[in-house]
Amino acid sequence: MENLHPVLPSAGNNDRLLPDKLGRRKFLTYCGLAASAATLAACKKDKDNNNMPPAGSIDLGMGDIGILNYAFALEQLEAAFYTQVVASPYSGITAGELALLTDIRDHEVAHREFFKAALGTKAIVSLEVNFSAVNFGSRDSVLATAKAFEDLGVSAYNGAGQLITDPAYLLLAGKIVSVEARHAAYIRDLISNGSFADNTVVDASGLDLASKPADVLMAAKPFLKSVLYAGNLPTA
C-alpha cells in the first residue's frame, strides 16, 4: 500500500474551507494560535472533539479519515448484505434479477475493498452485521432492505460531501455515490416500476436526500452488531 501514501496524507484536513467562510485571521484569533493545518482542522470541528469512544465501540476517527471510515462502514454493511442475498437467493428470483444483484454485490465489495486498501492502517476493523430482521427467502423483505440501504447510502454520501476537505476524496465519493443512486433506482423499480426517483426521495426542487452521519448511523444501527462511534467526525 506504499503507493497510496501520496494520496492519503496523514493529516486528513486542510484549511481550504475557512477563508471563504469566516475570514482566516478572525478564525485564527478565535483559536488563539497560529495553527498548523491539523490543529486548525481540530479547532474547526465541534466542541466535543476528541471524545473518548465508549468501551467496546469502534471510533470512526476525525477529519477526512473519519469520513472515509464512515463510508467504509456503510460499504461493509452493503457488501455483507448483498453477499448474503446472492448466496441464498429469494424464492422466485429471476435470472435477470440474480445477475444484477450479483453485479451490485460486486460493486459494493469493490467499494469496501477500495476503502480498506486506501485507508491502510487507518481503516476501522471489519464490522459484525446483524441481518436478523431480514428474511432472505422473501423477495419483499430483501428488496425493501436493499432499497433502504441504497437510499441511505445516497443520502449519506450527499450529506458527507460538505464534511470532506480534500478535493480528491470528494471526487472519489462522487464517483461512488452515483453508482449507489443507479442501484437505488434499479431496486426501487424492481419493487414498483417508475419509483426510481419518486417524491419520497426527491423533493419539489428536484433534489435528492442528504443526511448527516448521525442520522445515517442511527438508521444503520439495527443492522450492526458492532457499535460505531461518530463523536469525532467533523460536523461542518
236 binds other proteins (CB under 8 A): yes
How far apart are the C-alpha atoms of 67 and 232, rounded to whole Å?
Answer: 10
Answer yes or no: are the C-beta atoms of 44 and 66 closer than 8 Å. no
Minimum distance of other proteins from residue 59's CB (angstroms): 23
Among 122, 136, 196, 227, binds other proteins (CB under 8 A): 196
Among 148, 209, 219, 227, binds other proteins (CB under 8 A): 209
Q: Which of residues 111-140 bind other proteins (CB under 8 A)?
A: 111, 113-114, 117-118
Answer yes or no: are the C-beta atoms of 178 and 232 closer than 8 Å. no
148 binds other proteins (CB under 8 A): no
101 binds other proteins (CB under 8 A): no
Q: Which of residues 18-47 bind other proteins (CB under 8 A)?
A: 19-23, 26-27, 29-30
DSSP notation for 165-200: --HHHHHHHHHHHHHHHHHHHHHHHHHSTT-TT-TT
151: its cell numbers: 437510499
204 binds other proteins (CB under 8 A): yes
Minimum distance of other proteins from residue 220's CB (angstroms): 18
